[in-house]
Structure 1
Amino acid sequence: MANMCPYGLFTHAVVRGIPETFGKAVGDNDENKEASVDLAKAQRQFGCLTGALRQKVGLQLIEIPPDPELPLSWRIEDVAVIHGDTALITRPFREQRRSEVETVRRVMSELNLTVMEMDAIQGNSEGATLEGSDVLFTGREFFVGISSHTNHKGAEVLADAFRDFSVSTVPVCGGARLKNICSMGGADTIIISNSNGAKRTLRMMEQLTDHHYDIVTVPEQSAANCIYIKAPSKRDFLLHRPAEECPDSVSAFQKLQDYTFLPTACSEAAKLGASLSSLCLLVNKKHTYF
């Protein structure tokens, strides 16, 4: 096993602004294609997220300007999987999204990360699709959700890129992407929706791992996606949906001790099938190992 960075320790956040074409892409919402979004509200919520990451958590923020020609590019998590000093540039399912990777690739290079391309990893990657919001890294292993966006070939490419870690595939039951139904709430802690589909996915994850994870179950699926960060100050932060968006899940987070909770609204992006973690890529530039 390679040296492991303390789980959740990050120094930088990379985000991409909300374009004027937000919500205009055909088929960008997997759950409700008739959703009506409020652009100004989405931009305000994005500003609150970036403000929390920079001012409260203390990360260095790299903000890529919005691109109206790429109406889904604000879902930046989909286009890269980052661990340590390696950034795997993914291949989104939709052809029209694949040009989103160019700017992200450049930023990863400017951060001096080792940038890996899917085509260069496997000789037979034709047809492989992989989106970062289907990838859950626990600090010990990767779980890759097999969904309408990510296939088994994409998971195989990720396994080749991060050979020091176990990579297991699980079906995404009851959600568009794996991280719509679960996320990490800290080292060894999984936050997951209470839906029947999420429970089936969790049972599969438990069958595939030798490690015991603490489980925090939330009654609302939209509350299952959180962003856990161990900041440079070594404080534990959890960005989560606020009470006005997920009122029934507030008490579940109280099971997590000694955390700084940062309620962060995401209602407009959620109308398009996104979640909090969709809006950022987190990087540990210091590469502090033990």
Structure 2
Amino acid sequence: MANIYPYGCFTHAIVRGIPESFGKLAEGGDGFQTDIAKAKRQMGVLTGALRQKVGLQLIEIQVDSDLPESWRIEDIAVIQGDTALITRPFKQQRCCEAEAVRRVLNELNMTVVEMGEEEGGSGGATLEGSDVLFTGKEFFVGISKHTNHRGAEILADTFRDFAVSTVPVCGGSRLKNICSMGGPDTIIISNSDGAKKTLRVMEQLSDHHYEILSVSEEVAANCIYIRGPAKVDYLLHPTAEECSDSIAAFQRLTDYTLLPTACSEASKLGGALSSFCLLINKKHTY
């Protein structure tokens, strides 16, 4: 059995910086209009919060402008305990992003599992970490343009100690665009009709009860919960400028230290706060 730690306890965060090609697509083309300097500033705020406020050890992978979507590092691996599953993004061009991530995970002596060499797209297994919600008790895998049932089956085979349920992604491009964990028993979710439909399916498939924190804006549905070394509960969430109607919902978490962290440039590309990092508990000490 893989080492299982209390939910939200992490020691390391792996990040990859914003490339000069930020906003372009992995398969080429003009991409999207973004402010690279602003994206870099926002990334700096996030990494500063993880290192200086939460107290994680930060591992920064070198920026590669030949990999325009490599900043979206969450997609490349699903990590639980001491096991890391290297995923297979829908866009085959993105598979090159895994090399540097794999190297870091091996250096950390993680058990690294590969999805294999199947063709990408609809012809084989595809899985992106932004479609995977781990609750501490079970996995939900969103079936979307980016992740298919075969990918979910490989995840279930990798993490056999946990139930794995597939759910439709309604109202967003990826599962974590519409929901995230706000604590060991709390799901933060957009109040859109599509997100509510996905939540109903999750509740039907789960044997566990979760508190639901509903937020008004979709961008507010993606947060990062971390149980800090000093037994402090941190919630990194989008800023009031990005989700003014949802701030009151976060403030209901009265025992938490709230860390507003902007992600507007990532949001333009379908990304979110959690897109920027892979969280690991290398050695549980708290």
Query: The TM-score by the shorter chain falls in which range?
Result: over 0.9
Q: Could you tell me which residue of structure 1 aligns to residue 147 of structure 2? A: 150
Mean alpha-carbon deviation: is it higher for 252-261 or for 1-10? 1-10
2:215 maps to 1:218: yes
Q: Could you tell me which residue of structure 1 aligns to residue 94 of structure 2? A: 97
Structure 2-normalised TM-score? 0.95
2:75 maps to 1:78: yes
Task: Assess if the C-alpha contact under 8 Å between 1:173 and 1:197 holds in 2.
Answer: yes
Q: Could you tell me which residue of structure 2 aligns to residue 23 of structure 1? A: 23
Q: Could you tell me which residue of structure 1 aligns to residue 42 of structure 2? A: 45
Distance 1:3 1:44 in 2: 35
Identity %: 73
The Cα shift of 1:287 comes to 3.7
- What SS does the corresponding residue of 1:203 show, helix, strand or coil? helix
Distance 2:284 2:73 in 1: 22
Of the three residues 235, 238, 244, the one matched with 1:238 is 235
2:276 maps to 1:279: yes
The Cα shift of 1:27 comes to 7.0
Distance 1:3 1:84 in 2: 5
The Cα shift of 1:2 comes to 6.8
- What SS does the corresponding residue of 1:190 show, helix, strand or coil? strand
The Cα shift of 1:4 comes to 3.2
The residue identity in structure 2 corresponding to 1:182 is C
5 Å-filtered alignment, 1:101-140, equals 101-119=98-116, 127-140=124-137
The residue identity in structure 2 corresponding to 1:154 is G
Structure 1-normalised TM-score? 0.94
Task: Assess if the C-alpha contact under 8 Å between 2:34 and 2:265 holds in 1.
Answer: yes
Which segments of 5 or more consecutive residues in structure 1 lack a partner in the other structure?
A: 121-125
Task: Assess if the C-alpha contact under 8 Å between 1:135 and 1:179 holds in 2.
Answer: yes
Q: Could you tell me which residue of structure 2 aligns to residue 123 of structure 1? A: none
Aligned length: 283
Task: Assess if the C-alpha contact under 8 Å between 1:84 and 1:287 holds in 2.
Answer: no
Runs of 4 or more, structure 1, over 2 Å off, are: 1-4, 26-29
Distance 1:2 1:257 in 2: 33
Distance 1:229 1:113 in 2: 20
Distance 2:182 2:100 in 1: 29
Higher relative contact order (CA 8 A, sep 6+): 1
The Cα shift of 1:200 comes to 0.2
The residue identity in structure 1 corresponding to 2:49 is A
Question: For each residue in 1:27-72, what CA deviation from the matched residue of structure 2 results, as whole angstroms up to 9, or x when unmatched?
Answer: 799xxx9742100000010011000000010000000111000000
Question: For each residue in 1:140-171, what CA deviation from the matched residue of structure 2 results, as whole angstroms up to 9, or x when unmatched?
Answer: 00000000000000000000000000000000
Of the three residues 193, 201, 204, the one matched with 1:204 is 201
The Cα shift of 1:137 comes to 0.2
Distance 1:171 1:28 in 2: 29
The residue identity in structure 1 corresponding to 2:134 is F
Q: Could you tell me which residue of structure 1 aligns to residue 186 of structure 2? A: 189
The residue identity in structure 2 corresponding to 1:277 is S
Which segments of 5 or more consecutive residues in structure 2 lack a partner in the other structure?
A: 118-122
Distance 2:284 2:48 in 1: 24
Task: Assess if the C-alpha contact under 8 Å between 2:4 and 2:80 holds in 1.
Answer: no
Task: Assess if the C-alpha contact under 8 Å between 1:5 and 1:288 holds in 2.
Answer: no
Distance 1:3 1:272 in 2: 34
